[in-house]
């Protein structure tokens, strides 16, 4: 049975950002299946958590790579893959440095309504942990700010530029769930790209950032890495979550997978543009191309173009190599009717955490290839 569709795009967005699959399962009296990555897959390259002495309200330490993810479910899965513990809020460090300045950019009315107001009320603007992968130090970071929730001054841009300056990485990865654009991509596929563009329903909204327009296509400096570990993932591990997705699809009558999920690096069959397309509202591609997304890129989200724009406009980060690593949480929709929107929101809640395993593994593959 379909649940009632959220009445506003803001509610849809908030649900996606803050949905907690573990809390939902507990409330329903069920238990999520445990995803175990075989030790043999890592072949000596399993991420290792680093014990550090971190003083509260301090800058982040330097590292080789900075990975940023956005939602509760994404952070839970990223933490599971890189630290073997999904409970990031209990095991990661709270980041409060510079919070007072950044939080002033959020209108009070919005701040009071945010689902993560408890963290922001304590001055926590992010959570982080530090691991090593193949001798490289990696900072994992989950912001408590978000482009679609915090008003048109976009304080998250200031936050990302701040932490990028502190970590001073050689590579920045932003990662998480996305919707498929076009008919080829399926749930748990991953698209990696260094290109982004906007799909803005109110393009005149960002007076503080006049360069944020629908005509802007952004390209980050190129990243040199071996794709051998992406091939390894495609051959050995992207199928790991297939049984769970298949079981969910069968039980709930969702669209089922027709092939093994795969990671694509600037190469999606039948697609000419690989950009991540970021909206300032809820967007979804359908077979009729109602929103015109198919002429823009291969996946749609609500974050990455804003972040890449902020990086390129900042002298300290303009030359920082960046990649978007996005897993498909739901396939292309048949239409944009209320019934479909409701079902696709349910698919997102059911699939989001599982599909994120493949984008977390894709991040691992890129790091190993550096």
CATH number of the domain enclosing 356 = 3.40.50.1580
Residue 6 lies in a domain: no
Residue with tokens 């409701």: 342
Q: What percent of the chain has pLDDT over 90?
A: 79
Q: What is the predicted pLDDT for the residue at 219? A: 96
Residue 2 lies in a domain: no
Q: What is the predicted pLDDT for the residue at 46? A: 98
Q: What is the predicted pLDDT for the residue at 8? A: 58
User: Would you mind telling me the total number of residues written for the chain in this entry?
Assistant: 370
Q: How confident is the model at residue 2 (pLDDT cuts 50, 70, 90)?
A: very low
Residue 7 lies in a domain: no
Q: Is the pLDDT of residue 3 over 70?
A: no
Q: What is the predicted pLDDT for the residue at 5? A: 44
What global pTM score does this model have?
0.95
Q: Is the pLDDT of residue 223 over 50?
A: yes
Count of structural domains within the chain:
1
Q: What's the rounded Cα separation, in Å, for the pair 308 and 276?
A: 11
Contact 32, 25 (CB under 8 A): yes
Q: Strand, helix or coil at 66?
A: strand
Q: Is the pLDDT of residue 350 over 90?
A: yes
Q: Is the pLDDT of residue 39 over 70?
A: yes
The mean pLDDT of the chain is 93
Q: What is the predicted pLDDT for the residue at 1? A: 29
Q: Strand, helix or coil at 162?
A: helix
Q: What Cα–Cα distance (Å) separates residue 144 from each residue in 18, 53, 84, 117, 352?
A: 10, 22, 22, 9, 19
Residue 5 lies in a domain: no
How is residue 296 annotated by DSSP?
T
Q: What is the predicted pLDDT for the residue at 296? A: 95
Q: Is the pLDDT of residue 17 over 60?
A: yes
Residue 1 lies in a domain: no
Q: Per residue in 298-324, pLDDT tens?
A: 999 999 999 999 999 999 999 999 999
Query: Which range of residues forms the domain containing residue 271?
Result: 12-31+40-369
On the CB side of 313, how many CA atoms lie within 13 Å of its CA? 15
Q: What's the rounded Cα separation, in Å, for the pair 18 and 115?
A: 7
Q: Per residue in 113-172, pLDDT tens?
A: 776 778 898 999 999 999 999 999 999 999 999 998 898 999 999 999 999 999 999 999
Q: Is the pLDDT of residue 83 over 70?
A: yes
Q: What's the rounded Cα separation, in Å, for the pair 192 and 205?
A: 28
Least confident of 31-35, 221-225, 230-234, 254-258: 31-35
Q: What is the predicted pLDDT for the residue at 203? A: 63
Q: Which residues contact 42 (CB under 8 A, 6 or more apart)?
A: none
Q: What is the predicted pLDDT for the residue at 13? A: 77
Residue 167 lies in a domain: yes
Distance of CA 272 to the CA centre of its chain: 23
Residue 350 lies in a domain: yes
pLDDT: is 33 or 220 the higher one? 220
Contact 94, 127 (CB under 8 A): yes
């Amino acid at each position: 049975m379909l649940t009632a569709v959220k009445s506003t795009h803001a509610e849809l967005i908030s649900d996606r950002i803050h949905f907690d699959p573990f809390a939902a399962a507990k409330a329903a009296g069920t238990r999520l299946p445990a995803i175990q990555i075989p030790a043999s897959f890592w072949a000596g390259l399993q991420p290792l958590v680093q014990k550090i002495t971190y003083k509260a309200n301090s800058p982040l330490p330097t590292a080789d790579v900075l990975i940023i993810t956005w939602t509760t479910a994404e952070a839970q899965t990223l933490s599971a893959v890189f630290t073997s513990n999904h409970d990031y809020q209990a095991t990661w460090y709270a980041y409060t440095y510079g919070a007072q300045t950044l939080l002033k950019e959020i209108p009070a009315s919005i701040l009071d309504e945010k689902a993560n107001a408890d963290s922001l009320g304590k001055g926590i603007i992010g959570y982080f942990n530090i691991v090593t992968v193949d001798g490289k130090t990696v900072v994992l970071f989950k912001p408590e700010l978000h482009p679609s929730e915090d008003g048109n001054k976009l304080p998250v841009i200031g936050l990302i530029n701040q932490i990028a300056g502190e970590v001073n990485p050689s590579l920045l990865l932003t990662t998480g769930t996305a919707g498929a654009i076009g008919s080829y991509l399926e749930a748990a596929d991953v698209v990696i790209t260094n290109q982004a563009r906007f799909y803005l329903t109110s393009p005149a909204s960002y007076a503080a950032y006049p360069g944020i327009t629908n005509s802007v296509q952004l390209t980050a400096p190129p990243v040199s890495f071996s794709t051998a570990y992406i091939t390894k993932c495609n051959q050995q591990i992207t199928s790991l979550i297939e049984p769970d997705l298949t079981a969910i699809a069968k039980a709930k009558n969702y669209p089922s997978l027709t092939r093994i999920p795969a990671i694509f690096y600037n190469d999606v069959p039948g697609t000419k543009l690989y950009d991540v397309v970021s909206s300032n509202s809820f967007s979804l591609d359908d077979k009729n191309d109602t929103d015109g997304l198919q002429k823009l890129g291969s996946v749609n989200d609500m974050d990455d173009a804003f972040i890449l724009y902020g990086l390129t406009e900042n002298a300290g980060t303009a030359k920082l190599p960046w990649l978007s690593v996005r897993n498909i949480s739901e396939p292309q929709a048949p239409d944009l009717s209320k019934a479909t929107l409701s079902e696709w929101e349910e698919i997102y809640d059911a699939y989001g955490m599982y599909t994120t395993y493949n984008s977390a593994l894709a991040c691992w593959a890129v790091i190993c290839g550096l």
